[in-house]
Amino acid sequence: MAGDHLSAYHYFPLKWLESGVLMRHTAAMLELSNLSLSVSIQGERVDAVSAVSLRLAPGRVLGLVGESGCGKSLTAQAMLRLGEHQGVEKSSGDIRLDGKSLFDMSEEQLRTVRGGHIAMIFQEPMTALNPVFSIGSQICEVIRLHLDMNKQQAHQRAIDLLQDVGMQDVEQILKQYPDSLSGGMRQRVLIAMAMAADPDYIIADEPTTALDVSVQKRIIALLLNLQKKRNLGLLLVTHDFGLVAEMCDDVAVMYAGQIVESGSVAEIFDHPAHPYTRALMACRPEVSSPGKALPVISGQVPPPGRWPSGCHFAKRCPLAADDCNNPVAADAWSRENHVTRCLHVGEPS
Amino acid sequence: MSVLRVSGLNKTFAAGGMFKAIGKAKRAVIDTSFDLVAGETLAIVGESGSGKSTTARLAMQLLAPDSGNIFWDGEDVTHLTGKALRSRRSHIQMVFQDPFASLNPRMKIWESVAEGLRVHRPDMTKTQRRQKVAETLALCGLDDSGMDRYPHQFSGGQRQRIGIARALIVEPKVLVLDEPVSALDVSVQAQVLNLLKDIQAAKNLAYLFISHDLSVVRHIADRVSVMFAGRVVEQGNVEDIFEHCAHPYTRALLDARPITHPDERNRVDEVLVIGEGMSDSGCAYQPRCAFKQESCASFDGELDAQGCACLFPLNSQK
């Protein structure tokens, strides 16, 4: 049967996890605390991500939402300590996997973490696979890198993995090259590769953006199915509130390098509090009346290096007042399952 | 009168390159007809490979059809070539999807926008051209301070405004918009959609709007053509299509739209899609259709009087 290779703990009842019988999972957490990342712009180092704190727990789906340039992808890549060769540096804060700092790990330890504990699914299924190697050899490479398996075992596991992601004629597909697969099939292959070493966490950066709508739906269903079955912690990086509505338990909204609001998915959709979140949700064409002008957010996102010292959104905000020129705490307003970085929320509707 | 009309368009692409002998020709567009009047937006929707971009390129005379005719302002332009065609091209202009790839990085903004004028208004002096560029940029919500800058100094939304200005500068009657907002963030997308609406109202332009995003289509279009495997399978007014569509493929596309609120997560749709791929003979949608019957294998794909190409439409009272 497909899926037999899963380690047993994936099948324990959820209440065991909650009651703490399985220590491994109750203690487990991928945690960013006050992480700031800097990039180099015209020879100067400026922060592109500012004091971001996030917690990703097994069995939960966390959406990191924001528009391009807000720092969401940099944050996601940092969780695997990627991006450093492109000049991204940590300026403060920490990332801890099950309590252990990623910044204290050696290159070798990081290699086990990448793919082994935390795997990544990228946006572009067209470019994420190597065109000159067969699907089979690319999947087996990942398996043998992380698991102590011989060729036959790895081959068998590749078959199981591809069946798990809903592919048929698996033996045939293993022999094929990426160019003969459709976008949806490639994304399935990439998801299978991400699952290859049984990771605890998956970081998916816009996993469905490049796909047709009908294919999107199936990939979403597949990801959720695997996430539940394997009790994965899934970080979904996206600009699409539809995807968040569909998949996430918790949501964090980023604007200009900061998390401006976070909470449970119900709280964020029913009672968005931060003026940016409200404006962003209002300008979606799917919730507007056809034919009417869409609500817009005036002005532009300030680029890194030109952030105001106070609230990053103040210049575009209808509620801005004098006190917004001083730095605003991440939890300036909070209630159960909901915090936001705004001084003038009042009671959200 | 229609500003753009196409009738019975067909286009087949031969299998290319060194595999010509073993490859299979692809029928990209089959028997496609529509017309478009001033001030109106017709959206063409469909998945990738459905032929929507090819249809647009045929309508613009960027590709020659194998058969069928293209009329601009009632004039048959199908066989126009060379100078005669070039002099008519200001009738229909295009806005591209990717604002990062569609502007030459080495040309100043005003030079990119003014290019059409060099062809269509050779009588204009440089000062007049600059004046015209400034006016057109203003129409698109950009002030003239950016005229002497380069594309990399602008954001995605601003570049798309520049792309729209470049299309508008020769005063076309029809704009072909190929996924004009799909590369933009949602807040920027809202601005550009509003801008397109305003310009359309001000200039009485006709839009041929190509998109896979049905929420955007619902917002901007007056009429919709749904394409599948090179054919229009359903067409109609936007409300009719969204409220009571008749073709199973249209239904499947609508059902695949992302939900707008987490409460809709448990919404159970009827299962209408049963497989993948498309059929070469009969109705192309057969392999995916939950309603197919034997007679579908010999269906010719013609649209009926209600604008639906299906023997067993979902809603016969459309």
- Is A46 in the same domain as A101? yes
- Is A229 in the same domain as A275? no
The model's pTM: 0.87
- Is B8 in the same domain as B86? yes
* Contact flag B238-A266 (C-beta cutoff 8 Å): no
Q: Is residue B147 part of a domain?
A: no
The owner of tokens 């699952």 is A195
Q: What is the pLDDT of residue B1?
A: 79
Among the ranges given (A60-74, A122-136, A257-271), the one the predictor scored with the smallest mean pLDDT: A122-136
In this predicted structure, the answer to whether residue A148 has a pLDDT above a threshold of 60 is yes
Q: What is the pLDDT of residue A347?
A: 58
* Contact flag A67-B218 (C-beta cutoff 8 Å): no
Q: Is A287 on the interface with B (CB under 8 A)?
A: yes
In this predicted structure, the answer to whether residue A9 has a pLDDT above a threshold of 60 is no
Could you tell me the pLDDT band of residue A126, with boundaries at 50, 70 and 90?
Answer: confident
- Is A199 in the same domain as A320? no
Residues B121, B111: Cα–Cα separation, whole Å: 14
Point out the domain boundary residue: B215, B243, B271. Answer: B243
Q: Is residue B137 part of a domain?
A: no
* Contact flag B186-A239 (C-beta cutoff 8 Å): yes
pLDDT in tens, B154-167: 888 899 999 999 99
- Is A308 in the same domain as A212? no
Q: Is residue B111 part of a domain?
A: no
A186, A126 contact by CB (below 8 A): yes
pLDDT in tens, A253-268: 999 999 999 999 999 9
| Closest-approach residue (CA) in chain B for A248 | B262
CA distance A240 to chain B (A): 8
Closest CB to A285 among B191, B212, B219: B219
How crowded is residue B127: how many other Cβ atoms within 10 Å of its Cβ? 8
Each residue's pLDDT expressed in tens, for chain B with a length of 318 residues:
799 999 999 999 887 666 556 667 888 999 999 999 999 999 999 988 899 999 999 999 999 999 999 999 999 999 999 999 999 999 999 998 888 888 999 999 999 999 999 999 999 999 999 999 999 999 999 988 889 999 998 888 899 999 999 999 999 999 999 999 988 888 899 999 999 999 999 999 999 999 989 999 999 999 999 999 999 999 999 999 999 999 999 999 998 888 899 998 877 665 667 777 888 899 999 999 989 999 999 999 999 999 999 999 987 544
Q: Is A300 on the interface with B (CB under 8 A)?
A: yes
CB proximity list for B253: less than 8 A, separation 6 or greater: A213, A214, B45, B46, B47, B214, B226
- Is B77 in the same domain as B13? yes
- Is A331 in the same domain as A207? no
Longest distance between any two alpha carbons in chain A, whole Å: 68
Prediction ipTM score: 0.84
Closest CB to A67 among B187, B193, B253: B187
A164, A3 contact by CB (below 8 A): yes
Q: What is the pLDDT of residue A21?
A: 41
In this predicted structure, the answer to whether residue A23 has a pLDDT above a threshold of 80 is no
- Is A83 in the same domain as A169? yes
Q: What is the pLDDT of residue A62?
A: 97
Q: What is the pLDDT of residue A4?
A: 39
- Is B71 in the same domain as B7? yes
DSSP alpha helix (H) spans, chain A: 14-19, 23-27, 72-78, 107-112, 135-146, 151-164, 170-175, 183-195, 213-229, 241-247, 265-270, 275-282
CA A139 distance to own-chain centroid: 22
Q: How many residues does chain A have?
A: 349
Q: Is residue A117 part of a domain?
A: yes
Using a 10 angstrom Cβ sphere, with 0-12 exposed, 13-18 middle and 19 or more buried, the burial of residue A177 is middle
- Is A162 in the same domain as A24? yes
Domain count, chain B: 2
- Identify the domain containing residue B291 by its residue range: 245-318
Average pLDDT over residues A70-87: 91
- Is B172 in the same domain as B257? no
Average pLDDT over residues A324-334: 93
In this predicted structure, the answer to whether residue A150 has a pLDDT above a threshold of 70 is yes
Using a 10 angstrom Cβ sphere, with 0-12 exposed, 13-18 middle and 19 or more buried, the burial of residue A290 is middle
Average pLDDT over residues A45-50: 94
Among the ranges given (A175-179, A211-215, A216-220), the one the predictor scored with the smallest mean pLDDT: A211-215
- Angle (CA) A243-A66-B152 rounded to 5° is 120
Query: Bridge partners of A202?
Result: A119, A234
Point out the domain boundary residue: B243, B276, B295. Answer: B243
- Is A22 in the same domain as A101? yes
Q: What is the pLDDT of residue A15?
A: 42
Average pLDDT over residues A211-219: 84
Residues of A whose CB is below 8 A from B48: 183, 212
- Is B190 in the same domain as B277? no
- Is B35 in the same domain as B87? yes
- Is A147 in the same domain as A291? no
The three-state secondary structure class of B202 is helix
In this predicted structure, the answer to whether residue A339 has a pLDDT above a threshold of 80 is yes
pLDDT in tens, A296-321: 998 888 889 999 999 999 999 999 99
- Is A239 in the same domain as A154? yes
For residues A3 and A188, the model is more confident at: A188
Could you tell me the pLDDT band of residue A77, with boundaries at 50, 70 and 90?
Answer: very high
Point out the domain boundary residue: B243, B278, B309. Answer: B243
- Is B41 in the same domain as B93? yes
State the distance between the two ends of chain B, measured CA to CA, in whole angstroms.
Answer: 26
For residues A348 and B304, the model is more confident at: B304
* Contact flag A242-B259 (C-beta cutoff 8 Å): yes
Closest CB to B219 among A241, A280, A290: A290
Average pLDDT over residues A29-51: 93
- Is B315 in the same domain as B168? no
Could you tell me the pLDDT band of residue A213, with boundaries at 50, 70 and 90?
Answer: confident
- Identify the domain containing residue A28 by its residue range: 8-248
CA A84 distance to own-chain centroid: 18
Residues A301, B155: Cα–Cα separation, whole Å: 10
Q: Is A243 on the interface with B (CB under 8 A)?
A: yes
